[in-house]
Amino acid sequence: MTLAEIQHAIEELPEDEQTELATWVAERYHPGWDEQIERDFSPGGAGMELLQHVKDQVQKGESRPFSAGRRRA
């Protein structure tokens, strides 16, 4: 079966079965994603520069951590 055939078959599924399939795919690859995130945000990892940039923005008051909640207008 080709990728195009699989995509077409998925589009033909009822919405609840598409949701079930999406959940299955996410669970199947979840451990790999966790491992990649752990590597990226460990000392020397690819995400450390981004993390430091976000921390700098928070210190400057340009951003707020999620834990601070939404700003009130």
Residue 73 inside a domain? The answer is: no
Residue 70 inside a domain? The answer is: no
- Which tokens is 33 given? 């994603």
Contacts of 71 (CB under 8 A, 6+ apart): 64
Domain of residue 50, residue span: 3-64
68 pLDDT exceeds 90? no
pLDDT at position 73, please?
Answer: 63
Contacts of 45 (CB under 8 A, 6+ apart): 39
Residue 58 inside a domain? The answer is: yes
For the chain, what is the domain count?
1
Tell me: the pLDDT tens digits for 3-47? 999 999 999 999 999 999 999 998 888 878 888 899 999 999 999
Residue 13 inside a domain? The answer is: yes
pTM metric for this prediction: 0.45
CA distance 12 to 57: 46
Cα-only R_g, the chain: 20
